[in-house]
Amino acid sequence: QVQLVESGGGLVQAGGSLTLSCAASGRTFASYSMGWFRQAPGKEREPVASISWIGGTTYSADSMKGRFTISRSTDKNTLYLQMKNLKVEDTAVYYCAARRGADTTAARRWDYWGQGTQVTVSS
């Protein structure tokens, strides 16, 4: 079992920055792929970025590349998402997820989820 707790969300103006954290506990963190998803009101949950258990990173949309950076600290059992130059359309609840094996953009294939943290970007 893996427990995930996100933090770092909040209200920020467009063009600003935030760093989200996801603290993992339970089983060996290093053997899990980790990812960030987001869900805006009235929309489906969408992938943001993921990092595989061997360290490779994937960004799910061109609009996020160069603005979002995913990283993990196995020492601290923590996943991060650095977000800069935030846009109003980045407003959503951001979720951390974990799964054994390779990362994937399919939300249904992730085994564990955090409770989410709200990110609101104002114009």
* Model pLDDT for residues 77-92, shown as the tens digit of each residue: 899 999 999 999 999 9
Which of residues 86 and 59 earns the better pLDDT score?
86
Q: How confident is the model at residue 53 (pLDDT cuts 50, 70, 90)?
A: confident
One-letter identity of residue 121: V
Q: Decide if pLDDT at 47 tops 80.
A: yes
Average pLDDT over residues 48-70: 86
Q: Decide if pLDDT at 46 tops 90.
A: yes
CA distance 34 to 101: 10
